[in-house]
């Protein structure tokens, strides 16, 4: 019997081995999906704010180790001492060859989830300011982590198809634009090697699941956070002539800032100036001493950025002076250095190369070339300020096609990223993220 069975066993083994050799990004993404879905739901229901990513980082470290990486934890040097270092780096070596950085972000947002999903977050935590806040993965960083783990697992199994060093970076604190800089400041490139290429991805709340969407050149904007204090002279609301009212000045200044885009800027250079927060006063009949504002400023080119930031300060000070505010009470305008996030630039040649690869692996109709946005992502830091490390940051769709059609027909906007009602549809979103990242890596590191 044994003699008869042996050839059959050998034949089976041969099939099994040849089957292994034929593993593809698609087959691996399919095989990993049930486990990645579990990881996704787990992270979704346990979101953590920027600088507090303890649980997520530990999970990622464990998974990267299991995938065959040498893992370093607690990476990151922040300027803000309240943020804890939860950066994780996994290095997967496979002989000589290029070094490629693959990045995911991990943090969630102070949003109360309203998706109604069975695995919706119920988490309430303390913010850096000590306030109780709801927390939600409203930007899809949970889906990024799941796809990132799937990518590491698959590339660990496809070592016969690539060579070089993979540096998997699980980055904390993307939402506050501080994480990437903190990792670089902690010696990311000195300790793990400067990559030849950097790759990042993000889900997209208005693109259908199963699609990859990418932009050539600038893909996201410079983000500046500006704090402005308009100082007046407070007093009784019934005697305005005895005061200098900072609320009226703030109103004039806000409107004048909007003319920077329309009158002081080349219309071919996109800019956005949004006053997201304004606070002043305590009561109906008191003119306060000051009004505080917080502004987000979006630009692409650095010369435009400098021009806009200067105009914001000049206008605030000019209007205050025109309102009779003495020089010593002039507005205080401060541009936050540690919250600056540079514009992301997709290397055009590299983008074209990857688009061809994605069209081959996902189908021509499933790859979209899209317009850039004025959103921001500190993935840009990895390509350095002169874009000398070629980088591509691509999107993968996160919405069922039927839902897109339904909203379009009703003339309604889909929930955007950061909305309490946004959550990616896990399948085929995770699968597309995994395939998109694996095929990009294989193209850059192929044998």
Q: Which is nearer to Zn ion, 51 or 246 (CB)?
A: 51
C-beta nearest to Zn ion: residue = 139
By beta-carbon proximity to Zn ion, the closer residue of 139 and 154 is 139
Which residues inside 317-346 make contact with Zn ion, applying CB under 5 A?
none
Give me the least distance between CB of 419 and Zn ion, in Å please: 11
Q: Which two tokens stand for residue 6?
A: 């042996």
Q: How far is the CB of 174 from Zn ion (least distance, A)?
A: 6
Is residue 198 within 8 Å of 103, Cβ to Cβ? yes
205 binds Zn ion (CB under 5 A): no
CB of 29 to Zn ion, least distance (A): 22
CB of 173 to Zn ion, least distance (A): 11
Distance in Å, CB of 18 to Zn ion, minimum: 41
Please identify, using beta-carbon distances, which residue of 174 and 289 lies nearer to Zn ion: 174
In this complex, which beta carbon is closest to Zn ion, that of residue 109 or of residue 440? 109
Binding mask 109-148 toward Zn ion (x if CB under 5 A, else -) reads ------------------------------x---------
| Minimum CB distance to Zn ion smaller for 50 or for 361 | 50
Least distance CB 299 / Zn ion (angstroms): 19
- How many chain residues bind Zn ion (CB under 5 A)? 1
Q: Name which of 139 and 213 has its Cβ closer to Zn ion.
A: 139
Q: Shortest approach of Zn ion to residue 199 CB, angstroms?
A: 16
Residue closer to Zn ion (CB basis): 254 or 423? 423
Interface residues toward Zn ion, by CB under 5 A: 139
């Amino acid at each position: 019997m044994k003699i008869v069975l042996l050839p059959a066993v050998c034949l089976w083994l041969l099939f099994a081995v040849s089957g292994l050799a034929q593993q593809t990004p698609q087959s691996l993404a399919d095989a990993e999906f049930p486990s990645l879905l579990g990881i996704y739901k787990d992270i979704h229901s346990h979101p953590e704010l920027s600088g507090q990513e303890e649980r997520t980082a530990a999970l990622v470290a464990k998974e990267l180790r299991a995938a065959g990486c040498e893992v370093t934890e607690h990476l990151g040097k922040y300027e803000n001492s309240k943020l804890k270092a939860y950066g994780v780096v996994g290095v997967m070596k496979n002989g000589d060859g290029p070094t490629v950085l693959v990045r995911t972000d991990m943090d969630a947002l102070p949003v109360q989830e309203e998706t109604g999903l069975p695995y919706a977050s119920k988490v309430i935590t303390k913010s850096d300011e000590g306030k109780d806040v709801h927390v939600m993965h409203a930007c899809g960083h949970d889906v990024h982590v799941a796809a990132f783990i799937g990518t590491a697992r698959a590339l660990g199994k496809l070592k016969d198809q690539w060579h070089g060093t993979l540096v998997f970076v699980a980055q904390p604190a993307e939402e506050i634009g501080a994480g990437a800089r903190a990792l670089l400041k902690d010696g990311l490139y000195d300790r793990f090697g400067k990559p030849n290429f950097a790759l990042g991805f993000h889900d997209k709340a208005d693109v259908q699941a199963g699609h990859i969407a990418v932009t050539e050149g600038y893909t996201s904007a410079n983000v500046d956070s500006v704090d402005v204090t308009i100082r007046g002279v407070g007093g009784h609301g019934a005697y305005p002539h005895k005061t200098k009212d900072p609320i009226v000045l703030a109103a004039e200044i806000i409107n004048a800032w909007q003319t920077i885009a329309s009158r002081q800027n080349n219309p071919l250079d996109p800019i956005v100036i949004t006053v997201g927060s304004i606070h002043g006063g305590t009561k109906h009949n008191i003119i306060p001493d000051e009004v505080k504002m917080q502004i987000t400023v979006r630009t692409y080119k650095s010369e435009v950025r400098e021009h806009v930031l200067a105009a914001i300060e000049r206008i605030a000070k000019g209007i205050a002076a025109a309102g009779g505010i003495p020089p010593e009470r002039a507005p205080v305008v401060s541009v936050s250095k540690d919250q600056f996030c540079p514009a992301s630039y997709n290397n055009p040649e590299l983008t074209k190369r990857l688009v061809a690869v994605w069209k081959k692996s996902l189908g021509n109709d499933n790859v979209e070339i899209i317009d850039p946005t004025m959103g921001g992502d500190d993935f840009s830091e990895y390509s350095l300020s002169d874009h000398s490390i070629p980088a591509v940051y691509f999107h993968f769709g996160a919405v069922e096609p039927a839902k897109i059609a339904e909203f379009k027909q009703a003339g309604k906007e889909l929930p955007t990223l950061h909305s309490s009602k946004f959550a990616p549809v896990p399948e085929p979103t995770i699968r597309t993220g995994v395939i998109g990242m694996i095929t990009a890596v294989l193209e850059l590191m192929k044998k």
